[in-house]
């Protein structure tokens, strides 16, 4: 059996746990909105048509923020289509996903859903086919109390108080040739700067996210960030990062090491942002909104867009395995350990579309395997992220070369006396004993040890039994003389909770 050590010390911290790390994403894509969060004919639907069984799972998942309404969808979206009497709203062609958008759910409906689900909205504006004025109109509609055209129109539509949305995305993936209104870095940088500056004339206290690269594989990655930040640095707070992962050609070992790519991505964006900061002699630091990340089998049949123009087609409905869940858990480890610079993140997406929550139209709702590491990390990661020292055996991977088998992060809530350790065993075939040195905390006791694993790493949960592949108590965990020892099966994600009280 392999052996690894993890050393923790409450004196060595990274940053506070950011609640926005546990954000998600709702796009008008496939069945995310329609028959996902909104299904008026469902037995659990409330007066607004929102499924209360889905809202219950969103709360269980521990989602903090939700990015909306896209995604690629936003680059062709006319937000005015989604306000006012529903029966008067136009249906439009959505070019991004080759679907028909009925506009049954729009800004006001989404904000009501956010209130019901207890999440913070993160609104995106269209800088693909539209520009500064349309962004200002939407901001006025959402955030001004009254006395103006758009704010009074919102009030006339039944929403007396402003929505007061604080976080705004300046477009989406504008570096991507697939994007409606795709722009060069220079073109986008200027438009984003103009939009940000104008939006701040209405509300100087907004948090604004400028588009970074759609992925580190983009030919313009790095130079895009430098050019865009050089144009927008004074008026924005965060730069976005997007990344998706999947198992390719049966290479499970490389797939399980996907967090190495996320680590490198974050480090590169931070270095570029700080280089711009140094050149400008600025004091402000730009932080990262990793507002799209997940496992996505992008080349699978489920991701092929329809040839006609259906409403809410089944699109991107990946069915996730234990290995997929381990990778999701490991990507959360990566995001947490970068909490000094990654201050917001959005799992893409929330319901049905590459999602932890799945629904049947008019029927059941159920949890995918990826639901569990996200929910448990969100629930138990509190206080400060600790700077963890991991000494792990390595194995060879085709993509990343010599790769550590064990990866981990920990959080420490001083007031509650809670320590949570999140750890993965990325070995494809070997169990690993992990020894966690917690002597620096004094006397500790084990509260809980849970492990998600299966003899078949490609096993998937089903609508009939979404608890079959949930994390189970790990009876091997025990604390002796200030050391927590636990055996981790191959291809596994685990959460270990300790109390210093």
Instruction: State the alpha helices, DSSP H only, in 233-313.
Output: 252-256, 258-280
CA separation for the pair 387, 247 (Å, rounded): 29
List b or e across 337-346, with b for residues whose CB sees 16 or more CB atoms inside 10 angstroms. bbbbbbbbbb
CA separation for the pair 8, 316 (Å, rounded): 40
CA separation for the pair 301, 290 (Å, rounded): 26
Sequential DSSP letters for 320-377: -BHHHHHHHHHHHHHHHHTTTTEEEEEEE-SBSSS-SEEE-TTS-EEE-TTHHHHHHH
User: How far is the CA of 1 from the CAs of 254, 429, 451, 483, 488, in angstroms?
Assistant: 21, 10, 17, 18, 10
CA separation for the pair 259, 17 (Å, rounded): 19
Residue 240: burial class (beta carbons within 10 Å; 0-12, 13-18, 19+):
buried
Query: Please, are residues 335 and 342 in contact by the beta-carbon 8 Å criterion?
Result: yes
Query: Please, are residues 422 and 333 in contact by the beta-carbon 8 Å criterion?
Result: yes
Residues classed as catalytic:
173, 292
Chain Cα centroid distance, residue 98: 24
């Amino acid at each position: 059996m392999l052996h690894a050590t993890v050393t923790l010390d409450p004196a060595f911290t990274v940053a506070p746990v950011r609640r926005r790390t546990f954000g998600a994403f709702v796009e008008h894509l496939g069945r995310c909105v329609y028959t996902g969060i909104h299904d008026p004919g469902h037995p659990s639907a409330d007066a607004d048509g929102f499924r209360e069984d889905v809202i219950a799972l969103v709360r269980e998942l521990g989602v903090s923020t939700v990015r909306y309404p896209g995604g690629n969808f936003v680059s062709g979206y006319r937000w005015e289509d989604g306000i006012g009497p529903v029966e008067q709203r136009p249906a439009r062609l959505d070019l991004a996903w080759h679907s028909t958008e009925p506009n049954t759910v729009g800004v006001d409906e989404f904000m009501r859903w956010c209130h019901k689900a207890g999440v913070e909205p993160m609104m995106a504006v269209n800088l693909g086919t539209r520009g500064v004025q349309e962004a200002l109109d939407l901001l006025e509609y959402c955030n001004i109390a009254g006395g103006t055209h758009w704010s009074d129109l919102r009030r006339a539509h039944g929403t007396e108080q402003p929505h007061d949305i604080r976080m705004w995305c300046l477009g989406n993936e504008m570096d991507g040739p697939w994007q409606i209104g795709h722009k060069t870095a220079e073109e986008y940088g200027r438009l984003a700067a103009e939009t940000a500056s104008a939006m701040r004339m209405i509300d100087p206290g907004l948090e604004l996210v400028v588009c970074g690269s759609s992925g580190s594989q983009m030919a313009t990655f790095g130079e895009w960030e430098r050019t865009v930040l050089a144009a927008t640095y004074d008026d924005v707070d965060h730069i976005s990062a997007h990344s998706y992962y999947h198992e390719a050609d049966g290479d499970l070992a490389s797939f399980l090491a996907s967090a190495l790519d996320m680590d490198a991505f974050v480090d590169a964006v931070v270095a570029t942002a700080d280089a711009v900061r140094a050149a400008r002699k600025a004091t402000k630091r730009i932080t990262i909104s990793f507002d799209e990340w997940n496992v996505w089998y992008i080349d699978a049949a489920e991701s092929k867009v329809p040839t006609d123009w259906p409403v809410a087609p089944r699109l991107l409905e990946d069915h996730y395995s234990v290995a997929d869940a381990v990778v999701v858990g490991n990507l959360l480890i990566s995001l947490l350990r970068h909490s000094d610079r990654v201050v917001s993140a959005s799992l893409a997406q929330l319901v049905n579309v590459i999602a932890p929550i799945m629904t049947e139209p008019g029927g059941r709702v159920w949890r995918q395997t990826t639901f569990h590491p996200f929910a448990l990390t969100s629930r138990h990661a509190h206080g400060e992220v600790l700077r963890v020292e991991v000494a792990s055996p390595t194995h060879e991977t085709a993509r990343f070369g010599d790769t550590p088998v064990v990866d981990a992060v920990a959080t420490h809530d001083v007031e509650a006396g809670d320590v949570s350790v999140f750890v993965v065993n990325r070995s494809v075939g070997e169990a690993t004993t992990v020894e966690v040195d917690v002597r620096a905390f004094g006397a500790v006791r084990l509260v809980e040890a849970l492990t998600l694993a299966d003899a078949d790493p490609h096993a998937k949960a089903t609508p009939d039994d979404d608890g079959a592949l949930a994390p189970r108590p790990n009876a091997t965990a025990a604390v002796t003389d200030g050391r927590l020892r636990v055996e981790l099966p191959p291809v596994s994600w685990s959460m270990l909770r300790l109390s210093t009280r």
